Amino acid sequence: MTHSFTYIDIGGNQARYSVSEEDHRREFHWSTDHGDRGVASSFALAQSAARTAIKASMAAHRRSEEALRADSYSSNWRPR
Can you give the pLDDT of all 80 residues of the chain as single tens digits?
Answer: 999 999 998 888 899 999 999 999 999 999 999 999 999 999 999 999 999 999 998 988 777 777 777 766 655 556 66
Specify the pLDDT at position 46. Answer: 98
Which pLDDT score is estimated for 66?
72
The DSSP symbol for 41 reads S
Question: CB within 8 A of 48, min separation 6: which ones?
Answer: 40
How high is the pLDDT of residue 3?
A: 97
Give me the residue spans of the domains in the chain. Answer: 2-76
Q: What pLDDT is recorded for position 33?
A: 94
Q: Can you give the pTM of this predicted structure?
A: 0.74
The answer for residues whose C-beta is within 8 angstroms of residue 12's C-beta and 6 or more apart is none
Amino acid at 74: S
